[in-house]
């Protein structure tokens, strides 16, 4: 086949004839030639299934199909799924059931499900799991996807399954309702635009050249010859092209990571140059043939190597490779241990964990002429933190922040990994210098090699209790591998000591941490900032202590639980919203039944043994001991258009919906009357980062205040009392109170702000204080609490662990949207299960989604979610947060269940089959040994 061949095939019922190279991937032809960008690309290797389309009715990975292979065949993409029949039922079931979170895997899931239902109209759950086994999702834990497919297959049950929702137009009914996502429809139609879906057609492509060495000096030769050979190569960016500050970082005083390395790299995957040009030219250049000479050096791999005496310093200003230390100390530790009836201790180790969002980093930048002839740069990309991006890019460009506009695209999963800037400064610099739009999309291996991870931790701890089973002392030390650059290392080092003693009242606590530089991938923010690692320690040791004290593990936690008015390790007195006791109470019947069932099951003595474990957590909502405000604006236009200007980025967790629900009830107008403007730094105020589980609590509170502000302005205009009802009727606002009725003609009001005639503003900054040298103070305004229970089955011969079920009780203050709360818990459990059993990123070894294992649909258990509501007075309608709390107790609950099943304590994560098996063998060895000794002793007695 020559390149001139016209290829004909059917796409979404329409015959197409294209002159494209037959070797192009079908995914590329669909997205770029036909503009069908609803088909997403996550890995280009068949490892994620995001690009799944139907080829002659069967699900296939379009990234592995050459378009030449589609000739004469029928292709259906998400855009071609009809509104009727099976596809229509699927889309409605996904929407109603909350089956899409970020929406990036949704097209692939819909295609796989459509394939199944066309061939098997009434599948059971196991058939659904089998059919979806080729598509990865990182947000939902798959539960609501499986439920939606089952619901679509049984429309007669849909009425029973449909969750409670307010009737259209009803007021003060949004909070607490299972409202489908306000931005959900686009995700089901393939109409949502993610980072790689938005670049203009004339954009140049940027490819970052990265270090294959963890530690090396390098010299760049001349690129002149390369440019002569490749006229489409427009520019090669190196460190010298960074006109502003060639450093970035999260903390104002810790800008230590270069955009492009300056002659020296500190981790494998660090960018040293960027090729910018026409796509064909960029693709034709082999990185191996670039004029770069490398001088590799011995890298510092692992915390122990970096802390060894005489280890070279990664950064001269940190000669001991310790980036930062954290400390919390309260009470008399010596006395706490001296008077203890039981003391347990242990050393724990966790691995690098990759976020594995299915959308790789992507976006573009362009230079535009602003007002007054001042040039600006616009960066349109996936991000969790538009305002920080703006300031960082301004610094890198040597420009003012107001010269930078960040327009966040939809985000295909973040989990903390898109809080740090990635490609933004590169495309911004290129677009700024070349005055042409420049785009970039990371490959999967590049995304995994170059972006942040969860910190690996080495932790030791001692826990003590008195004769009554009350905790008397906790001592904890954790070293966290922060990799080559600071990123969020200080947050982890600071947050962990505050949480390290768990959600318990303890007489004396000393918790210390270090964040340690190594020549490994930078570790940053990942759902929980180090607390999930620390929770493995406190929950394992709580279990051991309960056993030593002879008290049931749940009961032991209950009698030590923090509750309203209790004093934390930081000396903070908790407010009224501290519902750990209610969480434990909700779990208790399930716990007793499951423990008894497991023990009964094990009496058979088969090769499979079951166990049930429990774990608790607490988590401070918002940034630690610092101001982290959010500002929300709600406006009414002359035409009667109601708009929430929302600077909080929704990364799939659902803030676009939650904030509307809150604002609607505060204002007294129905949620379905709102439009949203989100994220854009030109159009919205700073809502802070989508991190630290803070958007519902902080931005939610701001949205509530904005709604109330607009309401009071309307009432004031109408001269009506607080209890009056407001409603939007065309371009008028009708205010009524009893028989009184006033009509405000919006067209008659002066447009004050961006076309809006009435504007409500809300700002909330949770009250916190700095911590003193002992870590005392008020680090957070409020805390979430939770208890989770895991039921597992361990195959004693294979060492494999199957999680059979999870029950999760979470104190969320108030469940603004129960469907979304459940979705967060399901997704958190999927990631916690991965952390417990399979996830272990090794730089350079498993930088792809085949060898780096995340849970598939087949690995997920049944999950029961119990939302515990202990109203938080500072939160919007009493709400706190759920994003990170969802994950934190999962891993220790599973580890404790493994112990219950087998008697084996796993202290190095993940609990892979070989590690579990080694634990079983060691335990058998010990048992055999003690039997031998016992036998010898008895023999001795006989002799005597």
Partner 1 sequence: MLRLPAFEYLAPRTLEEAARMLAEAGAAALPVAGGTDLFPNMKRRQMEPRVLVGLRGVAEMTQLSGSAAQGWRLGAGITLARLAAHPELRQSYPAVALAAESVATPTLRNMGTVGGNLCVDTRCNYYNQSYEWRRAIGFCMKRDGDICLVAPSSPRCWAVSSCDTAPALMALGASVRLVSAREERVIALRELYRDDGIDYLALKPGEILSEIMLPPADGWRSTYRKLRRRGSFDFPILGVAVALRIGADAIVEQARVCLAAAASHPLEAVKAAEMLAGKKLQPDVIAAVANEIFRVAKPVDNSDLTLSYRKRMARVLVERALRDLAEAAASGRNGQAPGA
- Site residues, partner 1 (CB under 8 A): 1, 22-23, 44-47, 49, 52, 55, 58-61, 64-66, 68-69, 112, 129-135, 205, 207, 210, 212-213, 268, 282-283, 287-288, 296, 441, 443-445, 797-800, 838, 844-845, 847, 850-851, 853, 855-859, 912-914, 917-918
Shortest distance in whole angstroms from residue 484 CB to partner 1: 16
As a whole number of angstroms, the distance between CA 319 and CA 299 comes to 16
Minimum CB–partner distance for residue 44 and partner 1 (Å): 4
Provide, rounded to whole angstroms, the least separation between the CB of residue 860 and partner 1: 9
CA–CA distance, 259 with 422 (Å, rounded to integer): 9
Q: From the CB of 856, what's the least distance to partner 1, in Å?
A: 5
CB atoms within 10 A of CB 246: 20
Residue closer to partner 1, measured from CB, 68 or 777: 68
DSSP 311: P
758: how many CB neighbours lie within 10 A of its CB?
22
Residue number with CB closer to partner 1 (439 or 633): 439
**Cα 462–464–465 angle (5° rounding)?**
165
Q: In the complex with partner 1, which residue's Cβ is closer, 515 or 860?
A: 860
Distances from the Cα of 785 to the Cαs of 188, 543, 813, in angstroms? 33, 18, 9
Rounded Cα–Cα distance for residues 186 and 281 (Å): 34
Nearer to partner 1, 486 or 835 (CB): 835
Closest approach of partner 1 to the CB of residue 915, in Å = 9
Surface-to-core class of residue 223, CB atoms within 10 Å of its CB (0-12 exposed, 13-18 middle, 19+ buried): middle
Hey, what are 742's tokens?
């006033």
Angstrom distance (rounded) from CA 718 to CA 314? 65
Nearer to partner 1, 288 or 723 (CB): 288
Name the residue nearer to partner 1 (CB basis): 356 or 746.
356
Minimum CB separation from partner 1 for residue 924, in Å? 13
Please, what is the minimum distance in Å from the beta carbon of residue 299 to partner 1?
11
CA atoms of 697 and 628, how far apart (whole Å): 11
Backbone angles phi, psi at 420, to 5 degrees: -85, 145
Distance CA(332)–CA(691), nearest Å, equals 35
* Nearer of residues 60 and 615 to partner 1, judged by Cβ: 60
Q: Which is nearer to partner 1, 361 or 378 (CB)?
A: 361
Give the residue with the Cβ less far from partner 1, 417 or 445. 445
For partner 1, the closer CB: 599 or 914: 914
Task: Choose between 58 and 369: whose C-beta lies nearer to partner 1.
Answer: 58
Contacts of 177 (CB under 8 A, 6+ apart): 164, 165, 166, 661, 817
CB of 23 to partner 1, least distance (A): 5
Provide the minimum distance between the beta carbon of 799 and partner 1 in the complex, in angstroms, as a whole number. 7
Cα–Cα distances (Å) from 736 to 390, 414, 481, 636, in that order, read 44, 44, 61, 18
What is the residue-wise DSSP string for 464-489? EE-TTS-EEEEEEEEEEEEETS-TTH
Nearer to partner 1, 206 or 787 (CB): 206
C-beta of residue 367 within 8 angstroms of C-beta of residue 339: no
Q: Shortest gap between Cβ of 226 and partner 1 (angstroms)?
A: 16
What's the CA gap between 8 and 190, in Å, rounded? 23
Rounded to the nearest 10°, the torsion over CA 403, 406, 407, 409 is 160
Looking at the Cβ atoms of 233 and 546, the one nearer to partner 1 is 233
Say if residues 488 and 289 touch (Cβ distance below 8 Å).
no
Residue 790 CB, shortest distance to partner 1, in Å, is: 18
Q: Are 724 and 700 in contact (CB under 8 A)?
A: no
Q: Give the three-state DSSP class for 322.
A: strand
CA 173 to chain centre: 29
CB of 195 to partner 1, least distance (A): 14
Q: How far is the CB of 837 from partner 1 (least distance, A)?
A: 9
Residue 809: strand, helix, or coil:
strand
Burial 581-603 (b: 16+ CB within 10 A, else e): bbbbebbbebbeebbeebeeebe
Beta bridge partners of 440: 363
Q: Which is nearer to partner 1, 199 or 461 (CB)?
A: 199
| Residue number, 873 or 925, with CB nearest to partner 1 | 925
By beta-carbon proximity to partner 1, the closer residue of 23 and 770 is: 23
197 to 35, 56, 380, 652: CA distances (angstroms)? 9, 26, 10, 17
CB of 42 or CB of 80, closer to partner 1: 42
Beta-sheet pairing, 264-265 with 756-764: unpaired
| Contact (CB, 8 A) for 424 and 532 | no
Least separation in angstroms between CB 911 and partner 1? 12
Cα–Cα distance for residue pair 155/102, rounded to 1 Å: 25
Q: How far is the CB of 270 from partner 1 (least distance, A)?
A: 12
Residue 853 region by backbone torsions, left for phi larger than 0, else alpha for psi between -120 and 50, else beta: beta
Nearest distance from C-beta of residue 21 to partner 1, angstroms: 9
Q: Smallest gap, in angstroms, from Cβ of residue 460 to partner 1?
A: 25
């Amino acid at each position: 086949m020559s390149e001139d061949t016209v290829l004909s095939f059917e796409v979404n019922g329409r015959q197409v004839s294209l002159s494209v190279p037959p070797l192009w991937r079908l995914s590329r032809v669909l997205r770029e030639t036909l503009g069908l960008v609803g088909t997403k690309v996550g890995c280009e290797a068949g490892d994620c299934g995001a690009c799944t389309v139907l080829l002659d009715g069967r699900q296939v990975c379009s990234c592995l199909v050459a378009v030449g292979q589609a000739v004469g065949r029928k292709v259906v993409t998400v855009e071609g799924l009809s509104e009727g029949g099976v596809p229509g039922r699927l889309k409605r079931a996904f929407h109603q059931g909350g089956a899409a979170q970020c929406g990036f895997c949704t097209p692939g899931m819909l295609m796989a499900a459509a394939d199944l239902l066309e061939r098997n109209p009434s599948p059971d759950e196991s058939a659904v799991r089998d059919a979806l086994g080729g598509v990865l999702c990182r947000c939902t834990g798959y539960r609501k996807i499986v439920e939606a497919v089952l619901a679509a297959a049984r429309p007669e049950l849909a009425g029973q399954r449909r969750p409670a929702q307010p009737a259209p137009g009803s007021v003060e009914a949004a909070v607490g309702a299972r409202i489908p996502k306000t931005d959900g429809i686009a995700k089901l139609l393939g109409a949502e635009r993610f980072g790689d879906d938005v670049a203009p057609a004339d954009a140049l492509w940027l490819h970052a050249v990265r270090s294959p060495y963890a530690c090396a000096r390098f010299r760049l030769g001349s690129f002149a010859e390369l440019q002569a050979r490749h006229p489409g190569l427009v520019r090669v960016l190196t460190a010298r092209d960074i006109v502003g500050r060639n450093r970035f970082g999260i903390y104002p005083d810790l800008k230590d990571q270069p955009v492009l390395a300056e002659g020296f790299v500190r981790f494998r995957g660090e960018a040293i140059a960027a090729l910018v040009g026409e796509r064909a030219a960029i693709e034709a250049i082999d990185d191996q043939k670039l004029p770069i000479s490398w001088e590799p050096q011995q890298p510092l791999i692992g915390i122990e190597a970096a802390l060894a005496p005489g280890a070279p310093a990664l950064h001269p200003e940190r000669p001991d490779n310790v980036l930062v230390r954290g400390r919390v100390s309260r009470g008399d530790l010596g006395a706490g241990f001296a008077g203890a009836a039981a003391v347990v201790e242990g050393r724990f180790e966790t691995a690098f964990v990759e976020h594995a969002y299915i959308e790789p980093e992507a976006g573009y930048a362009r230079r535009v002429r602003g007002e007054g002839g001042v040039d600006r740069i616009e960066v349109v990309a996936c991000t969790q933190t538009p305002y920080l991006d703006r300031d960082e890019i301004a610094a890198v460009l040597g420009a003012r922040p107001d010269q930078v506009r960040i327009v966040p695209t939809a985000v295909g999963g973040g989990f903390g990994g898109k809080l740090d800037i990635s490609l933004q400064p590169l495309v911004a610099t290129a677009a700024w210098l070349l005055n042409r739009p420049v785009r970039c999309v990371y490959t999967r291996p590049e995304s995994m090699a170059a972006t942040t991870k969860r910190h690996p931790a080495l932790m030791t701890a001692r826990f003590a209790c008195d004769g009554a089973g009350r905790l008397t002392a906790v001592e904890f030390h954790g070293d966290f591998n922060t990799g080559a650059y600071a990123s969020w290392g200080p947050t982890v080092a600071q947050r962990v000591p505050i949480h390290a003693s768990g959600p318990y009242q303890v007489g004396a606590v000393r918790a210390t941490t270090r964040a340690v530089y190594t020549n490994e991938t930078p570790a940053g923010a990942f759902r929980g900032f180090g607390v999930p690692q620390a929770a493995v320690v406190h929950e394992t040791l709580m279990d051991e202590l309960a056993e030593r004290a002879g008290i049931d593990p749940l009961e032991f936690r209950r009698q030590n639980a923090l509750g309203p008015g209790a004093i934390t390790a930081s000396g903070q007195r908790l407010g009224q919203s501290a519902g750990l006791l209610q969480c434990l109470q909700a779990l208790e019947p399930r716990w007793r039944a499951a423990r008894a069932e497991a023990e009964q099951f094990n009496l058979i003595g088969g090769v499979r043994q079951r166990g049930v474990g429990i774990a608790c957590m607490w988590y401070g909502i918002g940034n630690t001991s610092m101001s982290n405000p959010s500002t929300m604006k709600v406006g009414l236009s002359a035409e009667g258009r109601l708009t929430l200007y929302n600077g909080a980025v929704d990364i799939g967790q659902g803030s676009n919906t939650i904030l509307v629900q809150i604002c609607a009830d505060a204002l007294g107008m129905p949620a379905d009357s709102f439009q949203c403007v989100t994220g854009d730094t030109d159009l919205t105020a700073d809502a802070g980062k989508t991190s630290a589980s803070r958007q519902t609590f902080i931005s939610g509170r701001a949205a509530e205040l904005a709604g109330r502000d607009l309401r009071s302005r309307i009432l004031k205009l109408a001269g009506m009392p607080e209890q009056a009802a407001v409603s939007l009727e065309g371009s008028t606002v009708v205010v009524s109170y009893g028989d009184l009725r006033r009509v405000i003609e919006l067209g008659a009001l002066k447009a004050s702000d961006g076309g809006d005639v009435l504007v409500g503003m809300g700002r909330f900054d949770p009250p916190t204080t700095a911590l003193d040298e002992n870590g005392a103070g008020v680090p957070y305004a409020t805390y979430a609490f939770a208890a989770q229970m895991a039921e597992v089955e361990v195959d004693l011969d294979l060492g494999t662990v199957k999680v059979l079920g999870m029950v999760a009780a979470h104190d969320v203050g108030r469940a603004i949207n129960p469907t979304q709360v459940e979705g967060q818990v399901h997704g958190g459990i999927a990631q916690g299960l991965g952390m417990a059993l399979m996830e272990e990123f090794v730089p350079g070894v498993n930088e792809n989604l085949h060898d780096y294992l995340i849970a598939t649909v087949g690995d997920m258990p049944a999950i029961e979610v119990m939302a515990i509501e202990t109203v938080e007075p500072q939160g919007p309608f009493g709400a706190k947060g759920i994003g990170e709390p969802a994950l934190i107790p999962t891993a220790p609950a599973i580890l404790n269940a493994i112990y219950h099943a087998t008697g084996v304590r796993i202290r190095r994560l993940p609990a892979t089959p070989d590690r579990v098996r080694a634990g079983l063998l060691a335990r058998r060895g010990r048992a055999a040994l003690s039997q031998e000794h016992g036998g010898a002793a008895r023999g001795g007695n006989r002799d005597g």
